[in-house]
A = this chain, B = another copy of it.
Amino acid sequence: MATLKDIGVAAGINIVTAFIFFIIFAVLRLQPFNDRVYFSKWYLKGLRSSPASGGFLNLDLRAYLKFLHWMPEALKMPERELIDHAGLDSVVYLRIYLLGLKIFAPIAILAWAVLVPVHWTNHTLELAKQLKNVTASDIDKLSVSNIPLYSKRFATHIVMAYAFTIWTCYMLKKEYEIIANMRLQFVASEARRPDQFTVLVRNVPPDPDETVSELVEHFFLVNHPDHYLTHQVVCNANKLADLVDKRKKLQNWLDYYQLKYSRNNSQIRPMVKLGCLGLCGQKVDAIEHYMAEVEKTSKEIAEERENVVKDQKSIMPASFVSFKTRWAAAVCAQTTQTRNPTEWLTEWAPEPRDVFWPNLAVPYVSLTIRRLAMSVAFFFLTFFFIIPIAFVQSLATIEGIEKVAPFLSVIIEHGFIKSVITGLLSGLVLKLFLIFLPSILMTMSKFEGFTAISLLERRSASRYYIFNLVNVFLANVIAGAAFEQLDSFLNQSPNQIPQTIGVAIPMKATFFITYIMVDGWAGVAGEILMLKPLIIYHLKNAFLVKTEKDREEAMDPGSIGFNTGEPQIQLYFLLGLVYAPVTPMLLPFILVFFALAYVVYRHQIINVYNQEYESAAAFWPDVHGRIITALIISQLLLMGLLVTKRAALAAPFIIALPVITIGFHRFCKGRYEPAFVRYPLQEAMMKDTLERAKEPNLNLKGYLQDAYIHPVFKGGDNDDDDDSVLGKLESEVIIVPTKRQSRRNTPAPSRISGESSPSLAVINGKEV
């Protein structure tokens, strides 16, 4: 069991690590040649086109002295401006960190003021030490373990549990209200956007006499006679997108060799082997070879493009239908169209850049089966992933290492290294395991058939959260404590489970403290370095970039990554709520995480990240629901703990808490959630009326005509490179398809921009 000293050493290491990251960051960001990596957002918005200071290296020493200056800088921009700058999603995402601070700062103060003295002034552990030679550290003296069985002091914990619950619910309600209003205000103040007028219709039934396009037109002319405006059928252009993607790669190689050739003064034509991985096979001239290949692929693309446009089979039974007014679109999206509820399914069209094209043609029956299959797969993934983790972690303790490799015991028994191992290793093992997970979960979500990237991310996030709950939280609490397998967990009675976990909770406090430091402190500080994009940018810059445009393409600003980021925050909420009444010692560590992450991500959002879509904070109900879940888990575990502490009289007082919390959740769900799911008719009508008054002669049909064309058909026309200001967005939404890992705002003029499947992302050059 780690002592206060161990924790101190680990904290020291992590603080130093974080500082080193910050110093490296401070140095790197000041270099003009890194400008496009650390200020990519400004380039993408067109507000910056060259580094502030000229030259290759920044030699202004004063700049280096203010190496933490970006922190107050990041906090300066007011929220309203930030919404304009980076969109509502980003701002609301930041508010999750703020909410963490708001919830836990008062809880931490209260817990330290009340619970710490109550715990500290007992002598249970000292007595136990003397009598039974039980080992206990100072941290345990601060935790609930130090209170004897049957003690009346548990009354304090009940009062505190109520206080924490009420405070958390109060903050949650306030936040939900604020964000619902922000969302509605954002939607109301938004400029005209195609998705406001458009509905996605899926599962258009086949008709022997009419094409899909005619069918859609007739159906909506009949059933929404005064409102139907136009529609855009969806083509199955997945193969075409693949081809475009292939040409993109070939073009990259061509550029690489051409550059190599031109920079290489020896005038030796670069050669390439055609066999596997370029290691064997015939040697040919690289530039000629890739030129020919690009040519060939271009032809194939042209053919396939013809096919897609002409062949009725490539038309999918789905369509984007646009209406004359927002009111009519809101009506159509919220209503059932026909008898058979699996045909003519209408839903809000996602933003054009948010559409996930490959999934638009999944039929209804297949959807049910896919979702069921993925639920089963996810169940197995969650519950069998636990075994390797538990195994590796049992090795990653001092005792485990000594058992496997006894010869190392001389080294690891050394005080400092022991602290390092205790403080870092088990946290790192866990972290490594989790790196590969998000992409698996994303693939599962894609298979399920969601039609918008935002939905994919939200689904992945909720799965990732459950995974974290089972495999980070529960697995670490239980597998290290009493159980080694899921099996024994299943064999317990329902009211024993909280007890088992409850008992293990205080013992695991030190582990989670080190986890918070590794994952939360050093990890967040590392995020600001942007190491991967930095390396990739410089590699591309060295080998591919020929023009200024190519340089812009080489930037990879990345985005918040809701599907991984949000579940991570939720884990901290869970830890904070669970440990607040048990080991208040843990709370300051969480507070530091929330504060640090808030500053870092605010900086990133202002300067770097380029959000791919705007869902107007549609994810908030998920965030809210997960904090509520954490609250209920913490209450159940506290109850289990109190029962094992023989404070049986106390337990009934706590049983009311989950009931109240569930009641609160249902109230919030009814009160605020509809604002995130549906578009109120009154709002739509207001915007319509306003618009009619302002622009009576608007050509809406022209505006909507091409809004929802598959990105592979659009890339070609998008040649202009003008740095449009915000207001211009509505009049010319230009959609640029791009790979998820390399976003750019302006594709090369000569090429038709590609789309890579399945991790493609459709972004808009001009960020709202």
The residues of A with any CB-CB pair to B shorter than 8 Å are 184, 222-224, 226, 330-331, 334-339, 341-342, 344, 364-365, 368-369, 371-372, 376, 490-496, 659, 662-663, 666-667, 670-675, 678-683, 685
Contacts and interface: CB of A to CB of B under 8 A. Distances in A.
B372 A335 contact: no
Contacts of A492: 493
A685 B495 contact: no
A633 to B, nearest CB: 18
Nearest to A679: B336
Given A491-B495, A493-B492, A223 B682 contact: yes
Given A491-B493, A493-B491, A368 B663 contact: yes
B494 A667 contact: no
Contacts of A222: 682, 685
A663 B331 contact: no
A690 to B, nearest CB: 13
What number of copies of this chain does the assembly contain?
A: 2
A681 B365 CA distance: 23
A681 B494 contact: no
Contacts of A679: 336
Nearest to A677: B336
Contacts of A372: 659, 662-663, 666
A677 to B, nearest CB: 8
Contact of A364 (B490, B659, B670): B670
Contacts of A184: 339
Contacts of A369: 663
Nearest to A673: B341
21 contacts: A222-B682, A224-B681, A330-B335, A331-B335, A335-B335, A336-B674, A336-B680, A337-B680, A338-B682, A339-B680, A341-B678, A341-B680, A364-B670, A365-B667, A368-B667, A371-B666, A372-B659, A372-B662, A372-B666, A493-B494, A493-B496
A222 B685 CA distance: 8
Contacts of A680: 335-339, 341
A372 to B, nearest CB: 4
Nearest to A181: B339
Nearest to A336: B678
Given A334-B336, A494-B494, 15 more contacts: A223-B681, A226-B226, A331-B335, A335-B681, A336-B674, A339-B683, A341-B678, A342-B670, A344-B682, A364-B671, A371-B666, A372-B659, A490-B495, A492-B493, A493-B494
Contact of A331 (B331, B342, B662, B683): B331
A108 to B, nearest CB: 31
Contacts of A341: 670-675, 678, 680
Contacts of A371: 666
Nearest to A684: B223
A310 to B, nearest CB: 31
Nearest to A346: B681
Contacts of A493: 490-494, 496
Contacts of A673: 341
A376 B659 contact: yes
A334 B337 contact: no
B376 A681 contact: no
Nearest to A656: B376
Contacts of A334: 334-336
A483 to B, nearest CB: 13
Nearest to A682: B338
A65 to B, nearest CB: 50
A184 B339 CA distance: 7
Nearest to A328: B331
A371 B490 CA distance: 32
A10 B553 CA distance: 86
A102 to B, nearest CB: 24
